[in-house]
Each structure stands twice: as structure tokens, then as C-alpha cells.
Structure 1
Amino acid sequence: MLLENEFLRVKVALRGAELCSLYDKQRREELIWQGDPTVWGWHAPLLFPLVGKLIDDSYRYRGRIYRMLRHGFAREEIFALVEDSPGAHGAEPVRGAKKSEPPEVEEKRSSLHLRLTDHSVTREIYPFRFCLDVIYQLKGRKLSVRLELCNRDEKEMYFAIGAHPGFALPLKEGERSSDYRLVLAGPGEESLSYYLPDPVSGAVDLSHSYQLVKKKEGLALTSELFDKDALIFQQGQISSASILRPNGDLYLTLNCGNFPDFGIWSVPGDSQPFICLEPWFGRSDSAGFEGDLSDRYGEVCLKEGLSFSAGFDILLPGS
């Protein structure tokens, strides 16, 4: 699906409602990592109803064991296109549209509304009835993404949700990815605390926290930064993250003020072709966790019949 205005062109896949391209028409630059299965094959997957990894890829709920792989199932599901209408959950899917294919002719649009509802297969691994809407909106040099979830069950629903956008680091001659810098902003102190995953289980190792000093000039994206996987920040420490070009100019900013948790990740090695800035509600299991789904860190509890909403913005200079 295509969104476009005079500044930006955006492509979104029905599979996973995934943002696949954010192209700056003025600078002739692609900002989203275009995917390489030998490095990382995704672009910007949506994470639901799980963020991160479960210990042994399983969880307990009401005495039963369920299996679910890393980051949940939404990123693999085909979303339906929803008619433009006030109120996300009152809108209807496009009649006659094939769920697995976009329309043959795409007209320019500045907004896009996609929906996933539970079905028999999802309920086998996640025993809740839900409606998940993903709404993209272009305005000037800003792309807004809104996530709306409605609990259609007759019981409380527990979930985690987040985004995993990978931003390409375009390099000019003589530049290295480590020349890019990351500026983190938030309400916290001058330094941020973060955790790392256990290298064997993938669970979050809470036995040791690390400190990251917030610097005005930013954090260099060195190869050593991701040697131990993702950096995991909790408790609302980060409200925005900006990437600076090697010359110090602003490349982009991700605003995510209402997400309590945040991940920063890229591939380890000599250089980073992309960096993932990930706003989350929830994260991987804590090391040694053996409780119920309702006891997981960051799990959101949504009462029957109620809705949840969260959003983030990607801003380009000049917006």
C-alpha cells in the first residue's frame, strides 16, 4: 500500500502492517532498512501480542501452557484494509477486497488504516478475542503511526505491543556507520540505565544494569555497542531518539513519549548498516521468570470491552 505527499513516499505491506519504505523525495534517500535475509530480513515489524522472547518460547495462562515465538504473531498475519471512517473500531474492512492482496490500482493517499482480528489459529496460541488497528498518517515531513487495540473478549486481556523499525544508515564516500550518532531524550537523569539479554536464554538479565551517559553530541554507533544484543531501557526513560549524520546534521527523530520501554538494536560486527529504535509496552521475560502471563513485566491488562491506544512519530528535518 502506498502513501504519498509532496515530501515523502511510504510503502506499507498488508503482511504484518509492516512499514517497508519511507522515502525522502527531497533528499532522494530511503530511511527504512530494505531487508537482507543474510543480515536481518525485516524492515519494521509490528510486535504483538509479545515483545521480545519468552523463556522456552512458552507462557502459562490459567493453568495451561501456550507456545509463542519471539515478538508474537502479528508480524506474520495479513491485515485487512479498512474503509476511511471516523473512529477506528467502527470502520469496516473494504468489501470484496482480497485479504492477501492489495488493490490492483493504488491511488495516492495520506493515511492508511489496517486491521487484524483474532481467528481460530491465533486463539490456539493466544486465547483472546481482539481487534488490532494500525493507522498510518502522513503530514508534511512527519509519519505518524497509531496502534489501537480493542478487547472483544469477556475476560481481561493481557498483551505486550511495540514497534521495531530499522533505519538505514546511508553512507557517503569516506563515512562509516560509527560516524553516526544517537541522541536520546527523556525526563530522566543525565545517565540512563539499561539491561542486556542473557546470551543463552534471551531472557533479560536483571542481575546487572549498565549506565549510558546522555551526551549532547550523541552516542557513537560503534560496533561494540551491540556485541551483547539489544540495549533494553525501562520505566519511561526515553521519550525520543534522534539520529545525527556524520557531519552533525539531524537525520531523523522518533518521538515515542507514551511508551514506557525502549530497545536499541543492530547487528554486531564491524559496521551497522541500520539501527533499530524500538518503542515498547513490555519486553522479553526476566531471567528465571516462571509466573503466569498476567505476571510478566510490562504486560498490559485491558478490561473486557475496553480499548488501548498508543502512537509514535517519525520526523524528518524540516517537519
Structure 2
Amino acid sequence: MQEQRELFRLKEGKDMIKIESALLQVEINREAELQSVFDKKRNRECLWQGDAKYWKERSPLLFPFIGRLFQKAYYYNGEKYPMDVHGFLRSMQARIVDQEEDSCTLEFRDSAESRKIYPFSFRLQQSYRVKDNRLDVCSRVENLGIEVMYFALGGHPGFYLPFSKKQAISDYAIHFPKQEAMMEKVRFSKDLLTLEERENFALVNGRLPLETVLFRNDAVVLAHSGGELVLGSDDEPVSLRFLYEDYPYIALWQPYGEKTPFLCVEPWTSLPGREGVMEELCSMKDRITLGPDEAKSFCYSIILEDK
């Protein structure tokens, strides 16, 4: 929605924040988004570096909505507000609150522009910390207003897949250590809006074999997956462990195509809007709520580990 994007002054600042451990070097831009997760041990970039042919972004932050809304708008207290896909945070620039060799924190605050489309006063601090082979990503959301605040929050990091040029996506699988046979899959309409009915999603010994056909209808969104997954191949010496206990949904996505070279692993607190429903924000079932002066943190971790 071009009108929404023009509400903000998006600066293409070239300055990167770098943090590192003995095994990882991580870069974050001034929109508080991951730009690089470099594996020093194997001398390779793990984070998708963006290519408009497939997907130009790398790891956008999703706030205060995830996915789409019916007719690209919602109601709050009887007033209609426009809202683009995945919210507006990726169109804002953050300020640096703290920076150390192995960590950093950036902060977003509401503005007169943001309140035209999201009428709440908030502070969102996005923190990154590396230790050895692990990167922790934490978002702390605080309600600075006098009314109850409603929001959704998510991550959208993309990872190169396959890890090696000698392999294909079909050589990989996702293992859910805390699940063995069955999970719930969220169903979507052709317009990628949420449907009420869910379906059972079968695993094979706790594993989801990866095939491009999985993404024929866009993302695979799973509920009650246990907050942990491992992405890897039997022929690779390294795997990617992803921890997301603070997020009840995990979305797996890549643009549908035979040679898409990455996979997004997206932790979500909430679902997109419902098909055919102009949502009233206060009535959306899975919104996170904060009372005045309340705050809540949500974290996920990326771990590169040897088998």
C-alpha cells in the first residue's frame, strides 16, 4: 500500500551494526533487521541476501499485524484504519540504544505518522546477542499509552537452502523434536486470509520432508509445533536449530518454484485476518494485549550446530 509507505521517511542508511562471537558474525541495519549471519567456521553466509527475482528482503520485522487483512484495513473504536501486509515496522528507522561487541539493542517509538494507521503509543526494543554458535533475537514491546494495546509480532528470516550447491531442497527435512506424528496446519483462502477450519498435518517420525510442492499454495503455517525445529540434511555436517517457545505459530515459506534457493522460518504470535471479515481489532482472537505501562518480551534463537 503505497500511501502507507509514504507516511514514513525510509532512509536507506548504509551503516551496519556488527556484532560477533568466536563463531558468528552478525550484521543488523538501521531498520533493526538482520542483514547477515556469517558462519566463521565454515566461511559461509547463512542468511538469505535478497534478490528481487525471488524475494528482495532478508529478515523483516512483522508488527503490529502479520500477513494480510481483508480489504487491507481494520476497525478500532468504530474508526477504520488502513494496514499493509505485515504491518509497518519495516518502513521505520530505529535508534541505537545499546551496542557492545556481542550484542546490540535498537528502539522504535510511535510517531504522529504511525498513529494515523495504528492509534497506540508504544516502544519496541529489538535486541540481538551472539554467543559461540548461537544468535538470540528478542523483541520487547511496551504500551506507553493509557488504553489497552493490541498487536501481533513476528520474525521473517530467510536462510540459504540448500546449504551446499551439490544438494537440492528435497535432500532436507525439518525435524520437530517435541512432536512425533501430527500437528495442526492453518488453512488459508486463495487471497491468503485465514479460514476457521484447520487440518491435521502428518509428520514422519517427527520429520517434515521438504519438497517445493509444499509451497504451491504459499506458506505452511503450523500450530502447536513445540517451539523447536531442526533444519538439516543427512549428508550435511551442520544443521540449523531454531528455538521459538514464545511464538505459538511457525510459518515455513519460499516462493513457489523448482530452484528457489532459500527457506523462510517465521515465528508468529498471531495469524493474519480472516477471509471475508473486516476485523475489529479488539475482537481479533489471538492478538497480544498490554495494559498501560505493561511490557512483554518475545525471543527466538538461531543455532548452527555440528551433528
TM-score (norm: length of structure 1): 0.86
The answer to whether the Cα contact below 8 Å between 2:121 and 2:145 also exists between their aligned partners in 1 is yes
Aligned equivalent of 2:174 = 182
Q: Over aligned residues, Cα RMSD in angstroms?
A: 1.8
Does the CA contact (< 8 Å) of 1:241 and 1:277 recur in 2? no
Deviations 1:46-84 (A, max 9, x none): 100111111111001000000010100111210100036
Query: Is the CA contact (8 Å cut-off) linking 1:283 and 1:297 kept in structure 2?
Result: no
**Secondary structure at 2:185's aligned position in 1?**
strand
**Equivalences for residues 1-319 of structure 1 within 5 A:** 1-15=17-31, 17-83=32-98, 109-186=101-178, 190-199=181-190, 201-216=191-206, 218-234=207-223, 236-247=224-235, 249-318=237-306
Segments of 4+ moved more than 3 angstroms: 170-174
1:241·1:254 contact (CA, 8 Å) conserved in 2?
A: yes
Residue 271 to residue 220, structure 1, CA distance change in 2 (3 Å): farther
Q: Deviations over 1:242-284 (max 9, x none)?
A: 1113515442111011211221111111133111111111111
CA contact (8 A) 1:243 1:250 kept: no
Q: Deviations over 1:217-257 (max 9, x none)?
A: x32221101001111223x3331111113515442111011
Residues 180, 220 of structure 1: 8 Å contact kept: yes
**Which blocks of at least 5 consecutive residues in structure 2 are unaligned?**
1-16
**Is the 2:238–2:306 Cα contact (8 Å) retained in structure 1?**
no
Q: Count residues with an aligned counterpart.
A: 291
Counterpart amino acid of residue 22 in structure 1: V
> Which deviates further from its counterpart, 166-175 or 237-246?
166-175
- Structure 2: distance between partners of 1:193 and 1:249: 31
Quick check: 2:106–2:125 contact (8 Å CA) kept in 1? yes
Q: Which moved more, 1:153-162 or 1:277-286?
A: 277-286
TM-score (norm 2): 0.89
Kept after mapping to 1: 8 A contact 2:98/2:104: no
Residues 5-28 of structure 1: CA distance to partner in whole angstroms, max 9, x if unpaired?
22111010112x110100000111
Query: Contact 1:50/1:160 (CA < 8 Å) preserved in 2?
Result: yes
Flag the 1:285–1:185 CA change in 2: closer, same or farther, 3 A: farther
Which amino acid in structure 2 is aligned with residue 43 of structure 1? R
- Calculate percent identity across the aligned residue pairs: 29
- Cα distance in structure 1, aligned partners of 2:64 and 2:75: 14
CA contact (8 A) 1:23 1:30 kept: yes
Structure 1 residues 297, 42: CA separation in 2 closer, same or farther (over 3 Å shift)? farther
| CA shift in 2, pair 1:220/1:193, >3 Å | same
The separation in 1 between residues aligned to 2:225 and 2:19, in whole angstroms, is 32
Aligned AA (1:257): E
SS in 1 for 2:123: strand
Determine helix, strand or coil for the equivalent of 1:317. strand
1:75 aligned counterpart, secondary structure = helix
Q: Distance in 2 between matches of 1:296 and 1:214?
A: 34
